[in-house]
Amino acid sequence: MYRFYGKHVPYLFLLPAIVVLTVFFFLPFAQTVILSFRDYSSDIYNSQFAGLDNYIALFHSKEFYKVIINTFLYLFGAVPVLATIPLILAILINQKIKCVNLYKVLIYLPVIVSIVVVAIAFKWLYASEGILNYIAEVFGFSRIDWLTSPNVAIWSVILVTIYKGIGYYMMIYLSALMGAPKDLLEAADVDGANLFQKHLNVTIPYLMPTIALVVTVSSISALKVFAEIYVMTRGGPLNATKTIVYYIYERAFENLDLSMSSAASVVLLLLVMAYSIINILVFERKKYEL
């Protein structure tokens, strides 16, 4: 009896997580896949089997291609900044400087503020009569249509995501820096390496697994961005800021098109999985080599 329970104890500890994942991920995912093969356009209560028609219609939609482009624009606009700026801040704050805890609190403060509050605050800053346009006019520049210009709006929203995430990823880097090899850093000092050379050759190679984590997490967050767009632009102007998650929300809850929104959700899951695998292969390839 003891041998039986002892052998299965690890599975008992995993059971709560398995139950939660099954209820809140696997079952909804299976239901979403089933819905993506149904047609709810004629009657939302009595659907018909549609096969691959929803996916075919999705990839023949110009709006969906615009949404995909916006999503990857958001991805490649936000992730490089969220992977580098917090790293630089973490390295600087990890030095022996005065009031270091105050700097940590100030940089981390946006993380604990609700994203809705941050988005509303930035919406006021971006207003035609807002502070940013007032500062621009003081320095002799013309007003900028931060949220109403198709060429500027998405970058304005990306800035909000960057502002909200810098402190979070900085703390991840700081926790990793606590275990940095001090003997190698001291050896670099003895060899006459300056601050830049020391961190380039010692700190950054040591932090590569953490950098991979930050890139993966920030990428998934960028692919799933919703709150900033919902509060600030509602996907406009002219679909310039509409990303795939907002497209899914719009199709499901505004147009009641459950089949197309489910198909788009499956596409999003595949994109996230593919991007995560690529990140693992790029940053942690050696770990999985035999």
Dump pLDDT digits (tens) for 150-194: 999 999 999 999 999 999 999 999 988 887 777 777 777 777 777
CATH number of 54-288: 1.10.3720.10
R_g of the chain computed on alpha carbons: 24
Per-residue pLDDT reduced to its tens digit, 57-107: 999 999 999 999 999 999 999 999 999 999 999 988 887 778 888 888 889
Q: What is the per-residue pLDDT for 5?
A: 57
Preceding peptide of 86 cis, ω within 30°: no
pTM of the model: 0.86
Which positions ≥6 away from 50 have C-beta within 8 Å? 37, 38, 39, 259
Enumerate the domain spans of the chain.
54-288
Q: What is the per-residue pLDDT for 3?
A: 56
Q: What is the per-residue pLDDT for 19?
A: 93
Per-residue pLDDT reduced to its tens digit, 242-265: 999 999 999 988 888 889 999 999
SS3 38: strand
Q: What is the per-residue pLDDT for 284?
A: 64
Chain position carrying tokens 């093969």? 37
